[in-house]
Chains A and B, each alone.
Chain A
Amino acid sequence: MKSYVCMCEHLTVEDIERAIDMGFRDIESLKRYLGIGMGTCQGRYCVPIVLGILSRKLGVPIERLGYVSIRPPLEPVPARLFLRVEKNV
């Protein structure tokens, strides 16, 4: 049985733990090494779980680990919306 953390990239708890052991010890590096938070969910499901695993492995309270930088738009939007931007925004 496998426990999935990220359904976009099909990553398990073991994948995350292995990456932490390899030296990826912050959420920004885990994101980019594994691809968590870069799929269509944009991190809504996986990032909090990965932070939980990181907190347990490093023995650091979760609130001190920070969160990934949020890149706009906040959720995926069709590109055509940007064709109608008011010029004086």
Chain B
Amino acid sequence: MYDVVIVGGGIIGVSLALKLAEQSFGKILVVEKDYLGSGSTFRCAGGIRASFTSREHIVLMKRSIELWAKLKEKLGVKYSRSGYLWLASSEEELERIKGYMRIHHMFGLETRLVDENFVKEIAPHVDTSRMAGALFDPLAGKASPFDSVYKQFLATKRLGVEFLVGREVTRIDVEGGVARGVEMNSERVEARNIVVAAGAYSVHLLEKSGIRIPVTPVSHHAAITEDFGRLFDPLIIDVASGAYAMQTFRGNVLMGVDVPEKPFGELDVKLVFLEKVVTVWSKWLKWLPNVNILRSWSGYYEMTPDHHPILGPLTPIESLFIATGFSGHGFMMAPVVAEEITSWIVSGKPKSREAGNLVLSRFEEGKTIKELAVIG
């Protein structure tokens, strides 16, 4: 009998396992169907910011950013507070980022408009000739998805957490309104608490137990160039298209932009994406046409109707918790989600009111949350 079984070995599952193990919360098992990080975590860019436009996102991400710094201090996770920079190329776009800034300031986030000289300093290889203005978020940054999963995995193993990798949870056992264990084909494991952190794959898994969650995976594409020395520190966003680009800790440029995709679509590679992303970024990164693209891939944004995650107990079923539906922001949120779910398991309630607002029942009760800026 396990005290907690976590379904999903991505950033959420691994971060939660570490948090629970640090509190010596009994016997913990993480089950991952493929390899650690294989779902959405290792497909994401690793950007981290609190500059959102809802109270819930801003408050939780601010706490997450504090916890990212602690992870770096404690485990040496590759994390850097290198900022986010929104690049506007017209007056209309400039007005839009000013609107974002006003919301940030309401919640005490110190984003600010910056000039060409500032941009040249923090992003020496970004061409500023068509820049109408830019918004900078100094609290934002990035972490390496590989490094943050692996360092937390190794720390978690040292604390005695068990891992079953390459094994798929095929069903959650719910008896008499209580979740009692998980099935992996013919094998069954009993647990006092079960957390579903299986990203896009949570939807079909929960459906088998009669639980419907309004999560729709939509694939998003990314491409990466060969590696270089310092080109630009912050994650940069082209306001016109919503495209983002960032330099990884290895020095590669990782880029993404929206192209039309159907829900639950294939995780394939699209030429239309490569064309769009190279076209958009060639306007700001004049050297881009001449560098090599190494790889392209796609991964799911697990979208919910209000673009906010579903966290906490899956009432009315007892002992069953969920953390999915991050709508493209799960990686950055993982440390605070681990803290909140741990609080729910240990003390029966979330640590913050904002996390409490993100329970599944908000959709039935009409208490959905409004988010105005979803990037890339």
Tell me whether B289 and A78 are in contact (CB under 8 A): yes
- Bound-state Cα–Cα, A37 to B272, Å: 26
A29-B35 in contact given A71-B297, A72-B296, A83-B279 (Cβ < 8 Å): yes
Tell me whether B157 and A23 are in contact (CB under 8 A): yes
Most chain B Cβ neighbours within 10 Å, of A22, A32, A35, A85: A32
- Residues of chain A within 8 A (CB-CB) of B226 are 40, 76
- Residues of chain B within 8 A (CB-CB) of A24 are 150
Q: What number of B residues sit within 8 Å (CB to CB) of A?
A: 37
Tell me whether A82 and B269 are in contact (CB under 8 A): no
Q: A72's closest neighbor in chain B, by CB?
A: B269
- Bound-state Cα–Cα, A33 to B153, Å: 11
Q: Does A28 contact B (CB under 8 A)?
A: yes
- Residues of chain A within 8 A (CB-CB) of B38 are 28
Q: B297's closest neighbor in chain A, by CB?
A: A71
Q: Does A1 contact B (CB under 8 A)?
A: no
> Separation in Å of the A68 CB from the closest CB of chain B?
11
- Residues of chain B within 8 A (CB-CB) of A83 are 275, 278-279, 282, 289
Give 1 or 0 for each of A72-83: 1 = CB within 8 Å of chain B CB.
110011111011
Tell me whether A71 and B269 are in contact (CB under 8 A): yes
- Residues of chain B within 8 A (CB-CB) of A22 are 154
Q: Does A38 contact B (CB under 8 A)?
A: yes
* Dominant secondary structure at the B interface: mixed
> Separation in Å of the B5 CB from the closest CB of chain A?
19
> Separation in Å of the B121 CB from the closest CB of chain A?
26
- Bound-state Cα–Cα, A25 to B157, Å: 14
Give 1 or 0 for each of B39-79: 1 = CB within 8 Å of chain A CB.
00010000000000000000000000000000000000000
Q: In the complex, which of the residues A23, A40, A85 contacts B271, with contact meaning CB atoms closer than 8 Å?
A: A85
Tell me whether A76 and B35 are in contact (CB under 8 A): no
Q: In the complex, which of the residues B36, B37, B295 contacts A71, with contact meaning CB atoms closer than 8 Å?
A: B295
Q: In the complex, which of the residues B36, B42, B271, B291 contacts A89, with contact meaning CB atoms closer than 8 Å?
A: B271
Q: Does B262 contact A (CB under 8 A)?
A: no
- Residues of chain B within 8 A (CB-CB) of A82 are 271, 274-275, 277-279, 293
Tell me whether B275 and A85 are in contact (CB under 8 A): yes
- Residues of chain A within 8 A (CB-CB) of B157 are 23
Which residues of B from 243 to 296 have beta carbons under 8 Å from A? 250, 269, 271-272, 274-275, 277-279, 282, 288-296
Q: Does B166 contact A (CB under 8 A)?
A: yes
* Dominant secondary structure at the A interface: loop
Tell me whether A73 and B296 are in contact (CB under 8 A): yes
Tell me whether B42 and A73 are in contact (CB under 8 A): no
> Separation in Å of the A43 CB from the closest CB of chain B?
10
Most chain A Cβ neighbours within 10 Å, of B36, B250, B282, B296: B36
Q: B269's closest neighbor in chain A, by CB?
A: A72
Q: Does B225 contact A (CB under 8 A)?
A: yes
Tell me whether A78 and B291 are in contact (CB under 8 A): yes
> Separation in Å of the B371 CB from the closest CB of chain A?
31
Q: Does A17 contact B (CB under 8 A)?
A: no
- Bound-state Cα–Cα, A29 to B101, Å: 40
Which residues of A from 45 to 85 have beta carbons under 8 Å from B? 71-73, 76-80, 82-83, 85
Tell me whether B289 and A79 are in contact (CB under 8 A): yes
Tell me whether B154 and A23 are in contact (CB under 8 A): yes
Tell me whether A29 and B36 are in contact (CB under 8 A): yes
- Bound-state Cα–Cα, A50 to B34, Å: 19
Tell me whether B293 and A77 are in contact (CB under 8 A): yes
- Residues of chain B within 8 A (CB-CB) of A38 are 250, 294
Q: In the complex, which of the residues A33, A79, A89 contacts B288, with contact meaning CB atoms closer than 8 Å?
A: A79
Q: Which residues of B contact A (CB under 8 A)?
A: 34-38, 42, 146, 150, 153-154, 157, 163, 165-166, 225-227, 250, 269, 271-272, 274-275, 277-279, 282, 288-297
* 14 residue pairs from A and B, CB less than 8 Å apart: A28-B35, A32-B146, A32-B150, A39-B227, A40-B226, A71-B296, A72-B269, A72-B296, A77-B293, A79-B278, A79-B293, A80-B289, A82-B277, A85-B272
